[in-house]
Structure 1
Amino acid sequence: MASMLEYVKLILQKVSFDRQLFEKELKKALQTLVGDEVKQLKQWCYAQFGRMYRVVLNRCFSRTRLA
């Protein structure tokens, strides 16, 4: 079975055409994932969507406490 992190990545890729939907799903993901998963998601998001959604990523990840 795929991990929750892999599922979240799949969802974010599918909604990446819409900024508001992307931000909504990213916020949901950050409430679901824990510890190291959040760090991995952050790295992946900036690599995948850093150019397109840097402001959204900065906003969402700045509110997240990384352990």
Structure 2
Amino acid sequence: MPRMIYDYTKSVLERVSFDPILFAKELKKAVKNLLPYEVEQLKKWLQYFTNEHPELKQCLSVVS
């Protein structure tokens, strides 16, 4: 079940990546709902994802 939440979180973040403010809001929700090891996985995924979307780099501070 938790894996499904992690995958769902990634899909939501991909869908809202057009708006950095909305992206940050969803990212904050994700950090509250995910397990600690999933947050670590999300950090790694965000590093990769924000390379393709540099306007979202500022949102990395939410998970740091």
The interval holding the TM-score normalised by the smaller chain is 0.7 to 0.9
Q: RMSD of the TM alignment (CA)?
A: 1.5
Structure 2 unaligned segments of length 5 or more: list them.
none
Q: Which residue in 2 is equivalent to 1:60?
A: 62
Q: Which 4+ runs in 1 deviate beyond 2 A? A: none
Structure with more helix by fraction:
2
Structure 1 unaligned segments of length 5 or more: list them.
63-67
Q: How far has the Cα of 1:52 moved from its partner? A: 2.8
Partner AA of 1:5 in structure 2: Y
Q: How far has the Cα of 1:55 moved from its partner? A: 1.6
Q: Which residue in 1 is equivalent to 2:4?
A: 3
Q: How many residues align?
A: 61
Distance in 1, Cα, partners of 2:57 & 2:22: 15
Q: Which residue in 2 is equivalent to 1:65?
A: none
Q: Which residue in 2 is equivalent to 1:27?
A: 28
Distance in 2, Cα, partners of 1:32 & 1:56: 17
Distance in 1, Cα, partners of 2:20 & 2:4: 24
